[in-house]
Amino acid sequence: MHAQGKGNGKGGRWEIDADRSELRFSLRHIVVSTIEGRFRSWGGEMLFDPDDVAATQLHVWVDVASIDTGSPERDAHVRSAEFLDTARYPRAQFVGTDILPHARDGAAMTGRLQLHGTTRYVDLKVVADRTWLDDLGRPRAAYTVTGKIDRQVFGLHWNQDLDVGGFVVSDKVAIEARVEMVRTTDADFARAEPAGAEAAASDRAPA
């Protein structure tokens, strides 16, 4: 994981460029093989010090009602009280708490995911794709983030038994984000925290 910035205890504040980023998910569906979708509205910011990568602070928010699986009828059902209940829980949040850089294959990040009124720790893999200066001279960085969550531990229990056995939707949900970030300002790590960072339960979600 790498990005341009200053050392000596100071780094950069980076914001997700939502227009150039994508947050997708997929899960197995017995009837139609795989359901794939994305969230249209999401964003976040990162505080990054290249001299102390482990001190990276990350906060991401997702407008859960912006889910899009390509089927308006299915999306309406997923938003309903029977599943995501977006009227009560309109936003999901992820706050990165620990990051472990690896020499060759990116970094491992652990953080608190708040979803459907429940907070659990989840593990993500972060791969830095490239860094560059845009036409305005602003530093940019692109990342690929992947991971899996178990929907059951977040209270998303809806399912239907099949006459032939098994369930319609699997418990494991694969997450993939292609993230482009732009540096907006310097940040003092001794004082700054990502907006929206908050205390959360310490229960850990299964991988």
What residue segments make up the domains of the chain, in order of their start? Answer: 10-188
The tens digit of pLDDT for each residue in 101-129 reads 876 778 999 999 999 999 999 999 999 99
The residue ranges of DSSP E strands in 50-170, in sequence order, are 57-63, 67-68, 91-101, 107-115, 118-133, 139-150
Q: CA 88 to CA 81: how far, in whole Å?
A: 8
Contact 15, 43 (CB under 8 A): yes
pLDDT band at 205 (very low <50, low <70, confident <90, very high): very low
How far the first Cα of the chain sits from its last, in Å, is: 22
Of 12-16, 62-66, 131-135, 190-194, which gets the smallest average pLDDT? 190-194
Contact 28, 56 (CB under 8 A): no
pLDDT band at 30 (very low <50, low <70, confident <90, very high): low
Q: Is the pLDDT of residue 161 over 70?
A: no
pLDDT band at 68 (very low <50, low <70, confident <90, very high): very high
Percent of the chain clearing pLDDT 70 (strictly above)? 78
**What dotted CATH number matches 10-188?**
2.40.128.110
- Give backbone dihedrals phi and psi of 54, rounded to 5 degrees, phi first: -65, -20
**3 state DSSP class of 66:** helix
Provide the pLDDT for residue 46.
Answer: 95
Q: Is the pLDDT of residue 195 over 50?
A: no
